């Protein structure tokens, strides 16, 4: 039994170790998103649906060909009372007799063609369906832009959290070494127990922070996998760090952009919305125009006294009787109770709303661009300042450590220097994180792809 348990554990361990860890750079994560993000895939389906809608609308203007056939049997043949035209004067024959004028069986086969010759709403509807397809394509582009934006920010958040964890682990290693040294010196009577307790407390606080960061990494990576379209159980490794990401979004690339809200996908969507609104209005206006439909029908029918449609048992020639007809149907709207005029007014209101949305977006886009510029300028300076602070904090920590080893410093001084170094590291990494995010926001504000 014990062997079975050991073997089961061994196979489980081998299975876990064999699970492939997928590595992603930011560029690879964005490319993966384009193929697997479900929102973007649904947007592609919407484009296909719009394409089919165009075909459906077009089909209304093409010939409509219908073949039909019918059969009926009278369970009770209808008839009527008529004057007895066979009555001879002076006889006792009845004045009225009951006659049945139908055969028990009848059948027909027909072939008809209908063709729309003129309908103003059809022409406008055809243009509107093509415009709707254009709208669907723009929505597909927006879905990809939004998905890649979320992936980029989730990627940056994940690598930032990982970097903070690495810094915590480095600080833990330093504190463990310092605690070991101070503990040995305490045993020799060179330092007080209070110094050991202080370092122990600091170490425990860092270990608690490490646990929190490990959980935060799981959360940020799961958020990234959700946005990319990866199953949550997939193991991933991110191959870029914050400094590399900051360098990949170069200042030169950003500074070349010139702002125009027309570069934003939202602007194009609003333009298309106004176009659709105008077409909707024209469709209602065209509904007041006449419509003309041409038709042609060819039919054959027959009557039988028994169930035999290919050979008649009647004494007269009763074969299939052909008939054909063609003509036109003209429909002229005269009065609809004010419905058409109401729909036109409603369409005008919707167009004005869409125009207001456009003005509002242009203002908001300018607002976003201004904020992105300001945030970038502040964050680039913050990154420079925090880098200088980090260098200074490292210098102070090295000096405090040297003094302590020479016997002229204290553990309190080391702890203070270590805290300042840890804070400087965190501040610098946060500054780099904010700088990368501000570059992403800048690209979003200017309509520049995040690649």
Q: In this structure, are residues 114 and 67 in contact, taking their beta carbons and an 8 Å threshold?
A: no
pLDDT at 218 over 70: yes
pLDDT at 16 over 60: no
pLDDT at 290 over 60: yes
Which of the residue ranges 53-57, 262-266, 303-307, 393-397 would you say has the lowest mean pLDDT? 303-307
- Domain ranges for the chain: 19-59+120-289+338-446, 65-118+293-332
What pLDDT is attached to residue 17? 45
What pLDDT is attached to residue 405? 76
- Pairing relation of β-strands 105-118 and 236-238? unpaired
Please give the structure tokens belonging to residue 106. Answer: 């009848």
DSSP state at residue 287 = T
Superfamily of domain 19-59+120-289+338-446: Outer membrane efflux proteins (OEP) (1.20.1600.10)
pLDDT in tens, 380-403: 999 999 999 999 999 998 898 888
pLDDT at 318 over 80: no
The single residue listed with the structure tokens 């649904």 is 42
pLDDT in tens, 105-124: 888 999 999 999 999 999 99
pLDDT (average), residues 166-182: 87
Q: Is 331 exposed, middle or buried (0-12, 13-18, 19+ CB in 10 A)?
A: exposed
What pLDDT is attached to residue 233? 94
DSSP state at residue 19 = S
pLDDT (average), residues 176-201: 84
Element (H, E) at 248: helix 242-248
Distance CA 439, CA 378 (A): 12
pLDDT (average), residues 35-41: 95
Cα 118 to Cα 63, 196, 358, distances in angstroms: 13, 95, 36
Supply the Cα-derived Rg of the chain in whole angstroms.
Answer: 42
pLDDT in tens, 244-265: 888 887 655 555 556 889 999 9
How would residue 309 be classed by pLDDT, with cut points 50, 70 and 90? low
Distance CA 282, CA 123 (A): 10
- Pick from 287, 290, 289: nearest CA to 342: 287
Distance CA 353, CA 132 (A): 18
The end-to-end CA distance of the chain, in Å, is: 56
């Amino acid at each position: 039994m014990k062997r079975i348990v050991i073997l089961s554990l061994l196979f489980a361990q081998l299975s876990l170790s064999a699970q492939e860890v997928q590595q992603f750079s930011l560029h690879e994560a964005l490319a993966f998103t384009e193929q697997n993000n479900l929102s973007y895939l649904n947007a592609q389906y919407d484009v296909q649906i719009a394409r089919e809608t165009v075909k459906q609308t077009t089909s209304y203007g093409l010939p409509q060909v219908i073949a039909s056939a019918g059969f009926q049997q009278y369970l009770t043949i209808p008839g009527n009372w008529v004057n007895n035209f066979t009555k001879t004067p002076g006889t006792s024959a009845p004045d009225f007799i009951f006659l049945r004028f139908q055969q028990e069986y009848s059948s027909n086969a027909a072939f008809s063609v209908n063709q729309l010759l003129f309908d103003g709403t059809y022409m406008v509807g055809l243009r509107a369906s093509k415009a709707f397809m254009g709208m669907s394509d723009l929505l597909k582009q927006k879905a990809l832009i939004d998905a890649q934006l979320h992936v980029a920010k989730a990627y940056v958040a994940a690598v930032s959290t990982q970097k903070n964890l690495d810094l915590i682990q480095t600080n833990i290693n330093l504190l463990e070494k310092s605690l070991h040294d101070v503990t040995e010196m305490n045993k020799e009577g060179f330092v007080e127990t209070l110094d050991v307790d202080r370092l122990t407390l600091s170490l425990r606080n860092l270990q608690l922070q490490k646990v929190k960061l490990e959980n935060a990494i799981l959360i940020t990576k799961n958020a990234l996998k959700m946005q990319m379209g990866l199953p949550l159980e997939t193991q991933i490794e991110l191959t870029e760090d914050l400094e590399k990401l900051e360098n990949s979004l170069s200042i030169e690339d950003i500074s070349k952009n010139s702002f125009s809200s027309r570069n934003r996908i939202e602007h194009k969507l609003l333009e298309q919305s106004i176009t659709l609104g105008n077409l909707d209005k024209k469709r209602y206006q065209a509904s007041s125009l006449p419509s003309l439909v041409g038709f042609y029908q060819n039919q054959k029918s027959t009557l039988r006294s028994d169930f035999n449609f290919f050979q008649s048992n009647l004494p007269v020639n009763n074969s299939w009787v052909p008939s054909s007809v063609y003509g036109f149907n003209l429909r002229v709207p005269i009065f609809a109770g004010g419905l058409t005029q109401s729909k036109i007014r409603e369409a005008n209101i919707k167009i004005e709303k869409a125009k207001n949305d456009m003005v509002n977006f242009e203002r908001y886009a300018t607002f976003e661009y201004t904020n992105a510029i300001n945030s970038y300028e502040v964050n680039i300076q913050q990154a420079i300042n925090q880098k200088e602070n980090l260098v200074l904090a490292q210098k102070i920590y090295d000096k405090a450590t040297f003094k302590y080893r020479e016997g002229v410093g204290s553990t309190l001084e080391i702890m203070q220097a270590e805290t300042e170094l840890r804070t400087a590291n965190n501040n610098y990494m946060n500054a780099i994180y904010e700088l990368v995010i501000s570059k992403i926001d800048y690209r979003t504000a200017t309509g520049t792809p995040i690649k």
